[in-house]
Protein backbone atom coordinates (compact mmCIF):
# COMPACT_ATOMS: atom_id res chain seq x y z
CA UNK A 1 0.00 0.00 0.00
CA UNK A 2 1.32 3.41 -0.95
CA UNK A 3 2.03 5.81 1.93
CA UNK A 4 0.51 9.27 1.62
CA UNK A 5 3.20 11.99 1.11
CA UNK A 6 1.99 13.85 4.21
CA UNK A 7 2.47 10.74 6.33
CA UNK A 8 5.91 10.21 4.84
CA UNK A 9 6.82 13.76 5.82
CA UNK A 10 5.55 13.28 9.39
CA UNK A 11 7.58 10.07 9.73
CA UNK A 12 10.66 11.85 8.35
CA UNK A 13 10.29 14.71 10.84
CA UNK A 14 9.70 12.32 13.75
CA UNK A 15 12.70 10.22 12.82
CA UNK A 16 15.04 13.18 12.54
CA UNK A 17 13.77 14.69 15.79
CA UNK A 18 14.42 11.44 17.64
CA UNK A 19 17.84 11.15 15.99
CA UNK A 20 18.73 14.70 17.04
CA UNK A 21 17.60 14.12 20.63
CA UNK A 22 19.29 10.73 20.94
CA UNK A 23 22.57 12.06 19.57
CA UNK A 24 22.38 14.93 22.05
CA UNK A 25 21.83 12.46 24.87
CA UNK A 26 24.78 10.36 23.71
CA UNK A 27 27.06 13.39 23.63
CA UNK A 28 25.81 14.68 26.98
CA UNK A 29 26.44 11.31 28.60
CA UNK A 30 29.90 11.02 27.13
CA UNK A 31 29.01 7.83 25.28
CA UNK A 32 31.05 8.74 22.22
CA UNK A 33 34.74 9.22 22.94
CA UNK A 34 35.85 11.32 25.89
CA UNK A 35 37.08 10.16 29.25
CA UNK A 36 34.16 7.85 30.00
CA UNK A 37 34.72 5.48 27.09
CA UNK A 38 38.41 6.01 26.27
CA UNK A 39 39.58 2.98 28.28
CA UNK A 40 36.61 0.65 27.82
CA UNK A 41 37.19 -2.99 26.95
CA UNK A 42 36.50 -4.29 23.43
CA UNK A 43 33.06 -5.76 22.82
CA UNK A 44 32.53 -9.27 21.44
CA UNK A 45 31.19 -9.26 17.89
CA UNK A 46 27.66 -10.34 18.87
CA UNK A 47 27.12 -7.26 21.07
CA UNK A 48 26.30 -3.89 19.49
CA UNK A 49 27.63 -0.80 21.21
CA UNK A 50 25.05 1.94 21.65
CA UNK A 51 27.72 4.46 20.71
CA UNK A 52 27.91 2.97 17.19
CA UNK A 53 25.88 3.99 14.15
CA UNK A 54 24.05 0.65 14.28
CA UNK A 55 23.39 1.09 18.00
CA UNK A 56 21.79 4.49 17.40
CA UNK A 57 19.72 3.10 14.54
CA UNK A 58 18.32 0.36 16.77
CA UNK A 59 17.09 2.98 19.24
CA UNK A 60 15.44 4.95 16.44
CA UNK A 61 13.59 1.86 15.25
CA UNK A 62 12.62 0.62 18.72
CA UNK A 63 8.95 0.75 19.71
CA UNK A 64 9.78 -0.02 23.35
CA UNK A 65 12.04 2.76 24.57
CA UNK A 66 10.08 4.86 27.08
CA UNK A 67 12.51 3.98 29.87
CA UNK A 68 15.49 5.19 27.85
CA UNK A 69 14.56 8.85 28.04
CA UNK A 70 14.17 8.87 31.82
CA UNK A 71 17.14 6.64 32.59
CA UNK A 72 19.49 8.44 30.23
CA UNK A 73 19.06 11.64 32.26
CA UNK A 74 19.84 9.71 35.46
CA UNK A 75 22.71 7.58 34.08
CA UNK A 76 25.56 7.23 36.60
CA UNK A 77 28.82 5.33 36.85
CA UNK A 78 29.19 2.94 39.79
CA UNK A 79 31.64 4.41 42.30
CA UNK A 80 33.40 1.12 43.09
CA UNK A 81 33.60 -2.40 41.72
CA UNK A 82 30.80 -3.70 43.98
CA UNK A 83 28.26 -0.89 43.64
CA UNK A 84 26.62 -1.82 40.33
CA UNK A 85 23.38 -2.58 42.16
CA UNK A 86 23.48 0.65 44.17
CA UNK A 87 24.15 2.72 41.04
CA UNK A 88 21.25 1.02 39.25
CA UNK A 89 18.86 1.61 42.15
CA UNK A 90 19.87 5.27 42.39
CA UNK A 91 18.96 5.68 38.72
CA UNK A 92 15.47 4.20 39.04
CA UNK A 93 14.65 5.90 42.36
CA UNK A 94 15.55 9.28 40.86
CA UNK A 95 13.62 8.31 37.72
CA UNK A 96 10.54 7.59 39.84
CA UNK A 97 10.97 10.90 41.71
CA UNK A 98 10.99 9.15 45.10
CA UNK A 99 11.61 11.67 47.93
CA UNK A 100 15.38 11.65 48.32
CA UNK A 101 17.74 12.43 51.20
CA UNK A 102 19.93 15.51 51.19
CA UNK A 103 23.06 15.32 49.08
CA UNK A 104 25.75 17.52 50.69
CA UNK A 105 27.65 17.88 47.44
CA UNK A 106 24.49 19.28 45.83
CA UNK A 107 23.18 21.31 48.80
CA UNK A 108 20.50 22.48 49.28
CA UNK A 109 19.04 19.95 46.84
CA UNK A 110 17.83 16.43 47.54
CA UNK A 111 18.74 13.63 45.16
CA UNK A 112 19.67 9.97 45.47
CA UNK A 113 23.39 9.32 45.17
CA UNK A 114 25.47 6.25 45.79
CA UNK A 115 26.89 8.00 48.85
CA UNK A 116 23.54 8.71 50.54
CA UNK A 117 21.60 5.62 49.43
CA UNK A 118 22.13 3.85 52.77
CA UNK A 119 21.13 6.81 54.96
CA UNK A 120 17.63 5.33 55.27
CA UNK A 121 17.64 3.21 58.51
CA UNK A 122 15.26 0.70 56.90
CA UNK A 123 17.68 0.26 54.03
CA UNK A 124 20.60 -0.39 56.37
CA UNK A 125 18.56 -3.10 58.11
CA UNK A 126 18.50 -5.02 54.82
CA UNK A 127 22.21 -4.70 54.11
CA UNK A 128 25.02 -2.42 55.24
CA UNK A 129 27.21 -0.48 52.79
CA UNK A 130 30.27 -2.27 54.19
CA UNK A 131 28.82 -5.67 53.26
CA UNK A 132 27.87 -4.43 49.79
CA UNK A 133 31.38 -3.05 49.25
CA UNK A 134 32.83 -6.47 50.06
CA UNK A 135 30.47 -8.82 48.24
CA UNK A 136 27.96 -6.88 46.15
CA UNK A 137 24.21 -7.53 46.08
CA UNK A 138 22.17 -10.64 45.25
CA UNK A 139 18.93 -10.48 43.28
CA UNK A 140 16.74 -10.95 46.37
CA UNK A 141 18.69 -8.30 48.26
CA UNK A 142 18.22 -5.94 45.32
CA UNK A 143 14.45 -6.32 45.64
CA UNK A 144 14.54 -5.86 49.41
CA UNK A 145 16.70 -2.73 49.20
CA UNK A 146 14.35 -1.18 46.65
CA UNK A 147 11.32 -2.04 48.79
CA UNK A 148 12.91 -0.18 51.71
CA UNK A 149 12.13 3.00 49.76
CA UNK A 150 8.42 2.14 49.45
CA UNK A 151 8.45 1.20 45.79
CA UNK A 152 6.95 -1.99 44.45
CA UNK A 153 9.83 -4.30 43.52
CA UNK A 154 9.06 -7.75 42.13
CA UNK A 155 11.90 -10.26 41.90
CA UNK A 156 11.99 -12.88 39.14
CA UNK A 157 14.63 -15.59 39.29
CA UNK A 158 15.40 -16.91 35.83
CA UNK A 159 14.85 -20.50 36.98
CA UNK A 160 11.23 -19.62 37.78
CA UNK A 161 10.42 -18.05 34.41
CA UNK A 162 11.15 -18.61 30.72
CA UNK A 163 12.79 -16.64 27.94
CA UNK A 164 9.39 -15.92 26.35
CA UNK A 165 7.92 -14.71 29.65
CA UNK A 166 10.91 -12.46 30.27
CA UNK A 167 10.76 -11.02 26.77
CA UNK A 168 7.03 -10.30 27.06
CA UNK A 169 7.27 -8.69 30.49
CA UNK A 170 10.40 -6.66 29.75
CA UNK A 171 9.18 -5.35 26.38
CA UNK A 172 5.87 -4.28 27.95
CA UNK A 173 7.70 -2.58 30.82
CA UNK A 174 9.92 -0.63 28.43
CA UNK A 175 6.87 0.72 26.60
CA UNK A 176 5.46 2.30 29.76
CA UNK A 177 6.66 5.32 31.74
CA UNK A 178 7.28 5.26 35.46
CA UNK A 179 8.33 1.65 35.76
CA UNK A 180 11.73 0.10 35.23
CA UNK A 181 13.51 -3.22 35.01
CA UNK A 182 16.91 -4.10 36.48
CA UNK A 183 18.78 -7.19 35.36
CA UNK A 184 21.24 -9.37 37.27
CA UNK A 185 23.43 -11.39 34.92
CA UNK A 186 26.80 -13.11 34.52
CA UNK A 187 29.04 -11.11 32.19
CA UNK A 188 31.02 -14.16 31.05
CA UNK A 189 27.89 -15.65 29.44
CA UNK A 190 27.71 -12.55 27.22
CA UNK A 191 31.38 -12.74 26.27
CA UNK A 192 32.34 -9.90 28.61
CA UNK A 193 34.87 -9.90 31.39
CA UNK A 194 34.02 -12.19 34.27
CA UNK A 195 31.57 -11.78 37.15
CA UNK A 196 28.00 -11.03 38.08
CA UNK A 197 26.61 -7.60 37.30
CA UNK A 198 23.48 -5.44 37.70
CA UNK A 199 22.27 -2.69 35.36
CA UNK A 200 18.99 -1.26 34.02
CA UNK A 201 17.38 -2.13 30.70
CA UNK A 202 16.47 0.91 28.61
CA UNK A 203 14.92 -0.28 25.33
CA UNK A 204 13.91 -3.28 23.22
CA UNK A 205 14.31 -3.60 19.45
CA UNK A 206 11.56 -5.85 18.17
CA UNK A 207 12.94 -6.81 14.76
CA UNK A 208 16.33 -8.02 16.01
CA UNK A 209 15.05 -9.18 19.43
CA UNK A 210 17.67 -7.16 21.30
CA UNK A 211 17.62 -5.33 24.61
CA UNK A 212 19.64 -2.22 25.43
CA UNK A 213 21.59 -2.46 28.70
CA UNK A 214 22.71 0.82 30.27
CA UNK A 215 25.85 -0.64 31.83
CA UNK A 216 26.68 1.32 34.99
CA UNK A 217 30.33 0.23 34.80
CA UNK A 218 30.82 2.92 32.19
CA UNK A 219 34.60 2.83 32.64
CA UNK A 220 34.53 -0.80 31.51
CA UNK A 221 31.88 -1.17 28.79
CA UNK A 222 29.52 1.13 26.87
CA UNK A 223 25.76 0.50 26.84
CA UNK A 224 25.14 -2.50 24.58
CA UNK A 225 22.39 -4.13 22.57
CA UNK A 226 22.24 -7.86 23.33
CA UNK A 227 20.01 -10.57 21.89
CA UNK A 228 17.25 -11.65 24.27
CA UNK A 229 18.34 -15.30 24.24
CA UNK A 230 21.92 -14.37 25.14
CA UNK A 231 20.76 -12.08 27.94
CA UNK A 232 18.43 -14.76 29.23
CA UNK A 233 21.27 -17.28 29.29
CA UNK A 234 23.39 -14.78 31.25
CA UNK A 235 20.59 -14.31 33.80
CA UNK A 236 19.89 -18.04 34.06
CA UNK A 237 23.18 -18.65 35.87
CA UNK A 238 23.79 -19.61 39.48
CA UNK A 239 24.76 -16.94 41.99
CA UNK A 240 26.86 -18.96 44.42
CA UNK A 241 26.39 -16.39 47.21
CA UNK A 242 22.60 -16.67 47.02
CA UNK A 243 22.37 -20.31 45.99
CA UNK A 244 19.82 -19.26 43.34
CA UNK A 245 19.83 -18.17 39.74
CA UNK A 246 20.17 -14.55 38.78
CA UNK A 247 17.28 -12.81 37.01
CA UNK A 248 15.52 -9.46 36.99
CA UNK A 249 13.51 -7.04 39.13
CA UNK A 250 10.63 -4.83 38.01
CA UNK A 251 10.26 -1.52 39.86
CA UNK A 252 7.32 0.86 39.99
CA UNK A 253 5.37 3.12 42.31
CA UNK A 254 2.76 1.19 44.36
CA UNK A 255 -0.14 3.19 42.90
CA UNK A 256 1.13 2.41 39.40
CA UNK A 257 0.82 -1.32 39.97
CA UNK A 258 -0.90 -3.19 37.18
CA UNK A 259 -1.82 -6.76 36.38
CA UNK A 260 1.21 -9.03 36.30
CA UNK A 261 2.23 -10.49 32.97
CA UNK A 262 3.63 -13.48 34.80
CA UNK A 263 1.49 -15.64 37.06
CA UNK A 264 3.26 -15.56 40.39
Within 10 A of 238 (CB to CB), how many other CB atoms are there? 14
Residue range(s) defining the domain that contains residue 241:
5-256
- Per-residue model confidence (pLDDT) at position 15: 53
* Residue at 262 is within a domain: no
Q: Which residues of the chain have pLDDT under 50?
A: 1-14, 17, 27-28, 32-37, 257-264
> Rounded to two decimals, what is the model's pTM?
0.85
pLDDT digit string, tens, across residues 49-71: 999 999 999 999 999 999 999 99
* Residue at 175 is within a domain: yes
3-state secondary structure of 8: helix
Domain CATH for 14: 3.90.70.30
- Per-residue model confidence (pLDDT) at position 194: 84
* Residue at 264 is within a domain: no
Rounded distance, CA 184 to CA 166, Å? 13
CB 75 within 8 A of CB 160: no
* Residue at 68 is within a domain: yes
What is the DSSP secondary-structure string of 23-52? HHHHHHHT-SSHHHHTTPPPPPTTSEETTS
* Residue at 263 is within a domain: no
The set of residues, in sequence order, having a beta carbon less than 8 Å from that of 111 and lying 6+ positions away, is: 94, 100, 103
Crossing angle, helix 5-29 and helix 66-74, to 10 degrees? Answer: 20
- Per-residue model confidence (pLDDT) at position 255: 74
* Residue at 261 is within a domain: no
- Per-residue model confidence (pLDDT) at position 32: 38
* Residue at 237 is within a domain: yes
Q: How many domains would you assign to the chain?
A: 1
* Residue at 224 is within a domain: yes
Amino acid sequence: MEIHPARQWVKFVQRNLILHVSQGVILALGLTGGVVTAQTLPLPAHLIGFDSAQGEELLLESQSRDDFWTLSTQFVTQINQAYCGVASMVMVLNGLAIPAPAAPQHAPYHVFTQENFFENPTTRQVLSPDVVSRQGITLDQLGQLLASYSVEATVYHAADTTLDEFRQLAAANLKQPKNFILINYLRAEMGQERGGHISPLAAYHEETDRFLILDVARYKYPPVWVEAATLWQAMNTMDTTAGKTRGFVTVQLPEAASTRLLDR
